[in-house]
Each structure stands twice: as structure tokens, then as C-alpha cells.
Amino acid sequence: MSKLATSLRPLFSFGWRMLLTLTVSRVIFVAWQWQRVADAEMLEAVFVQGFRFDLVLLGLMLTIPVLAFPILASNRLLVPAWRALLKVCLPVALLIIVFMECGTPSFVDQFDSRPNILFLEYLNQPREVAATLWGAYKLPIILAALFVTTITWINSRQIGRLVGAITPTGVMPAILVTPFLLIICFGLIQSTLEPDGGFRNAQRDDDDVVAQVRESMTIEPQEAASSTLPTLHRQGLPDPAR
């Protein structure tokens, strides 16, 4: 049992570090945008739903290591690969998370939104983006780079110490515990830790959805041009006599 716990301890360490990072980041963002949060009366939703999505992300991050666990951690010949996987993947995942959180304020200033697909598209032009950001946010970028570097170094050192103590768990213990780990991961991904499941997709008939879309577009029923493309409609020219 001690070998099993030692082998899994880096995953639990990664979990609480990730949740702590995202929670602290959320507190800072709420303080920064406090007036908007207060006006929208969304303080509870920001933290409750935000933490739920943190759990979803954690479940996704842990799925691959958990799937590899019974194969790599149980055998003395493969346990070096398990150590390497944890020693590289876990700090890199934390690095990406910290980087994204540090990059969020400038993106919010520019687009009034958390990083989305535009953030990834801009990565295709790193020179132009870097030059623009450096000119506008030179000091924040330097501070953010120092912060990301420091946090990554600390996490790598501490997780590395836990990984170095890992020894083979044996085949049967690894096989027995893996289903429970997968249940936890899938439960986090599906947000089953929250009774209502948080925000859910609306369960509505297609006709109701189409009618609401057309109503919001002020489309009359006779103007609809297609039954399969709800937004396709005929738009008449204005009467020149008016």
C-alpha cells in the first residue's frame, strides 16, 4: 500500500497545486473586476461554477496519467518511464495553466473576454503579437515571466522529489486501484460532484429553438427560406416610395 501511495502522490500533489493556482487567480481577477462582478451579482456563480470547471480541467489533465498508471507504474522495467512521464508532464501542465492565467488580464483588456480561440490564432504570429504586447505591457510581461518561471521551478522541484521516491507498485495493486481512479477522473469531467451538474445544455425541442432564433432576428414565418437552415430568410428591399 505504501508503494501505491508513493506512486500516486505526485498526481495528488499536482491536483491541489492546480486547484490552488486557479482559485488564487480567480480571487485576483474578481478583485480586479469587482465592480462588474458586484453589478452583475455573480460573485457566488463565479466561484462555484469556476471551481466546477476547475475540477473538469483537473479530470482531463489526470486521465492520461491514470490510464498509463497500471502499465508503467507496476513493472520495475517500466517504472522509469512512469517517473519520466510525471516529472515532465505534470510541471508542463502547471506551466501552461499559470501562463494562461498570467496572459488573461491583457486579453480581457483587449477583447473583454477570457482567452478563447482568438488567443490560439494569435500564436500563429508570435513576432507580431510579442512586439505589440511588449510595447503595451512591458512591465507586466516582465513580472509575469518572472512569476511563471519561479512557480514552475518550485513545482518542478517539489514534484520531482515525490517522483524520485517512486518504486514499482506490483501488477495487482495497480490493476485494482485504476478503476477507482478512472471513476474519479470521469466524475470530475462530468461534474458529478455537484448535485445539479451546474449549467446544463437546454433540453428543448428543435422547433422551439428555431422559433426563438427567428424571433430574436425579427423574422416573420413567411420570410423563412429553409426548414433546415433556421437563419436563412428572404429579405425584401425597402419600398422606394417611403
Pairwise pLDDT comparison (238 vs 178), residue with the higher score: 178
Rounded Cα–Cα distance for residues 104 and 11 (Å): 26
pLDDT at 40 exceeding the cut of 90: no
pLDDT computed for residue 176 by the predictor: 92
Helix, coil or strand: residue 233: strand
Domain ranges of the chain: 2-189
pLDDT computed for residue 237 by the predictor: 47
Contact in structure between 65 and 41 (CB atoms under 8 Å): no
Mean pLDDT score across all residues of the chain: 81
Backbone angles phi, psi at 161, to 5 degrees: -65, -40
Number of Cβ within 10 Å of residue 64's Cβ equals 13
Rounded Cα–Cα distance for residues 55 and 18 (Å): 10
Tens of pLDDT along 42-55? Answer: 898 889 988 999 99
Tell me how far CA of residue 101 lies from CA of 23, 97, 201, in angstroms. Answer: 11, 6, 27
Contact in structure between 218 and 204 (CB atoms under 8 Å): no
The count of residues in the chain is 242
Report residue 199's pLDDT band, with 50, 70 and 90 as the boundaries. Answer: very low
Stretch 178-191: mean pLDDT, rounded?
A: 89
Helix, coil or strand: residue 72: helix
Show the CA angle centred on residue 122, arms to residues 119 and 124, nearest 5°. 130
Percent residues over pLDDT 90 in the chain: 33
pLDDT computed for residue 227 by the predictor: 66
pLDDT computed for residue 90 by the predictor: 92
Stretch 122-142: mean pLDDT, rounded?
A: 68
Pairwise pLDDT comparison (233 vs 166), residue with the higher score: 166
Tens of pLDDT along 51-79? Answer: 999 999 999 999 999 999 999 998 889 99
Report residue 184's pLDDT band, with 50, 70 and 90 as the boundaries. Answer: very high
Please, how many CA atoms are within 13 Å of residue 3, restricted to the half-sphere of its CB?
14
Number of Cβ within 10 Å of residue 242's Cβ equals 4
Percent residues over pLDDT 70 in the chain: 75
Tens of pLDDT along 137-154? Answer: 676 777 777 888 888 899
Number of Cβ within 10 Å of residue 209's Cβ equals 12
Contact in structure between 174 and 70 (CB atoms under 8 Å): yes
